[in-house]
């Protein structure tokens, strides 16, 4: 595996990918720029979101926060609001913190060096490699799931991608095929992985490197990549109370980091005095990456002004209404609940 890529026997594979990319690159808004700020935002937005689903969010985000300074000066809750619908809100919190880091530690200038980019909050090796190669001619492969899949198939390599050494193993493997233009090569691998060498049913007949692909020639594409360890999602039950009166309801901002960091939620407990006001209970399920949630939401309709005043004055909740709640970010199941309550 130790090879200098200039003498690698496999360099022609990278070159084929480059010329394929030259003709077939997806026409995406962030492909027209080398602004590291925009490339960074797009890399984070599309980490767990499909391009078609995240494109509007990306455009709106860039429109409202066109540069590092504007983002750094914004309120965190507004950043969260523009992230609404993308999920994984810790990404938005990290982006916001990193923009302040760039203002404070780099005088507002996006760092060009891979190691420096890596110091930004929420930026991992993949993102740092993508930004440095696309914007600053850096030479690191942006190894992600696409690289694992494409390379393990091309070389029919059964290295387990759940192994903790997978990143460094596939980085070396990438070095064998990687041409000088690493920025375009990284983007070619992204496009090939998402458009052609898909996880299921890869479109091998359209693939620019099918002549070089061992898994394809062995008719074993579905055997790669090899992954042995499956992270099992654990079950978690949550209880909420939708305490409301005359179109107003109570919320608070989450403080813990456990899940849904900084999002808004309903009260999780009520006093005994409120129990007679419970009008119904709805149970919904929701999946997070490592959690299967069962959420029980009780509708507590308070028809006594005195009780409402007492409960709201004794507890640190925010009183909101349907209109104002659009300005806040809620976890998806609570957001759906609010929308449905509006219809009832
Ligand atoms: S030939 Fe098929 S399996 Fe091999 S890299 Fe291309 S799309 Fe992937």
Q: Which residue has the higher pLDDT, 7 or 84?
A: 84
Per-residue pLDDT band at 3 (split at 50, 70, 90): very low
Closest CA to 242 of 194, 292, 297: 297
Q: Mind listing the pLDDT tens digit for each residue in 85-112?
A: 888 888 999 999 999 999 999 999 999 9
| CB 146 less than 6 A from any atom of ligand 1 | no
What pLDDT is stored for residue 88 in this prediction? 80
| CB 153 less than 6 A from any atom of ligand 1 | yes
> Which phi-psi region, left, alpha or beta, contains residue 30 (left: φ > 0; alpha: ψ -120 to 50)?
alpha
Q: Which residue(s) pair with 291 in the sheet? A: 234
Is the pLDDT confidence value at 5 over 60?
A: no
| CB 102 less than 6 A from any atom of ligand 1 | no
**In ligand 1, which atom is closest to the CA atom of 149?**
8
What pLDDT is stored for residue 116 in this prediction? 97
What pLDDT is stored for residue 9 in this prediction? 86
The mean pLDDT value of the chain amounts to: 92
CA 174 from centre of chain? 24
Q: Mind listing the pLDDT tens digit for each residue in 207-242?
A: 999 999 999 999 999 999 999 877 678 999 999 999
| CB 188 less than 6 A from any atom of ligand 1 | no
What pLDDT is stored for residue 69 in this prediction? 98
Q: Mind listing the pLDDT tens digit for each residue in 134-150?
A: 999 999 999 999 999 99
What pLDDT is stored for residue 343 in this prediction? 58
CA distances from 99 to 16, 29, 68, 94, 106 (A): 37, 21, 5, 8, 10
Walk me through the domains of the chain, giving residue ranges and CATH numbers.
Answer: 11-223 (1.10.340.30), 234-343 (3.90.79.10)
Per-residue pLDDT band at 342 (split at 50, 70, 90): low
| Share above pLDDT 70 across residues of the chain, in percent, rounded to a whole number | 97
DSSP E strand boundaries for 254-310: 264-265, 278-287, 291-301
| CB 204 less than 6 A from any atom of ligand 1 | yes
Residue with tokens 């190669």: 133
Per-residue pLDDT band at 344 (split at 50, 70, 90): low
* Most confident of the following: 7-16, 188-197, 251-260, 307-316: 188-197
Q: Which residue(s) pair with 163 in the sheet? A: none
CA torsion sign for 150, 156, 162, 163 is negative
Is the pLDDT confidence value at 1 over 50?
A: no
| pTM over the 0.85 mark | no
Helix (H) or strand (E) run with residue 70 in it: helix 68-73
Is the pLDDT confidence value at 162 over 50?
A: yes
Active site (annotated) includes residue 43: yes
| Share above pLDDT 90 across residues of the chain, in percent, rounded to a whole number | 76
**In ligand 1, which atom is closest to the CA atom of 203?**
7
**In ligand 1, which atom is closest to the CA atom of 213?**
4
Residue nearest to atom 8 of ligand 1 (CA): 197
DSSP 110: P
Q: Which residue has the higher pLDDT, 124 or 29?
A: 124
* Over residues 124-130, mean pLDDT: 95
What pLDDT is stored for residue 50 in this prediction? 82
Options 43, 76, 305, 316, the catalytic residue: 43
């Amino acid at each position: 595996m130790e090879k200098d890529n200039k003498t690698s026997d496999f360099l022609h594979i990278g070159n084929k990918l480059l010329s394929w990319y030259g003709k077939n690159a997806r026409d995406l808004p962030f492909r027209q720029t080398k602004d590291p700020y925009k490339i960074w935002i797009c890399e984070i937005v599309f980490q767990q979101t499909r391009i078609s689903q995240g494109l509007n969010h990306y455009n709106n985000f860039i429109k409202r926060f066109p540069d590092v300074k504007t983002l750094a000066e914004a309120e965190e809750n507004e950043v969260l609001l523009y992230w609404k619908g993308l999920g994984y809100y810790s990404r938005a919190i990290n982006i916001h913190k990193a923009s302040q880091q760039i203002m404070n530690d780099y005088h507002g200038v996006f760092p060009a060096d891979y190691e420096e980019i890596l110091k930004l909050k929420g930026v991992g090796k993949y993102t740092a490699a993508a930004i440095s190669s696309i914007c600053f001619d850096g030479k690191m492969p942006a190894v992600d799931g696409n690289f694992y899949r494409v390379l393990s198939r091309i070389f029919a390599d059964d290295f387990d991608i759940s192994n903790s050494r997978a990143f460094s193993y596939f980085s070396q493997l990438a070095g064998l095929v990687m041409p000088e233009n690493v920025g375009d090569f990284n983007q070619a691998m992204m496009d090939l992985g998402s458009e052609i060498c898909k996880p299921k049913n890869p479109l091998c007949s359209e693939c620019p490197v099918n002549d070089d692909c061992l898994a394809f020639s062995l008719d074993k594409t579905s055997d790669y990549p090899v992954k042995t360890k499956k992270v099992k999602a654990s079950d978690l039950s949550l209880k909420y109370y939708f305490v409301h009166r005359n179109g107003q309801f109570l919320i608070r901002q989450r403080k813990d980091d456990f899940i849904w960091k900084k999002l808004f939620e309903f009260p999780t407990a009520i006093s005994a005095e409120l129990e007679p006001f419970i009008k119904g209970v709805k149970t919904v399920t929701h999946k997070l990456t490592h959690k299967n949630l069962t959420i029980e939401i009780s509708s507590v309709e308070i028809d006594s002004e005195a009780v409402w005043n007492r409960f709201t004055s004794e507890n640190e909740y925010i009183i909101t209404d349907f209109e104002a709640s659009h300005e806040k970010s809620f976890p998806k199941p609570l957001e759906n609940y609010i929308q449905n309550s509006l219809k009832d």
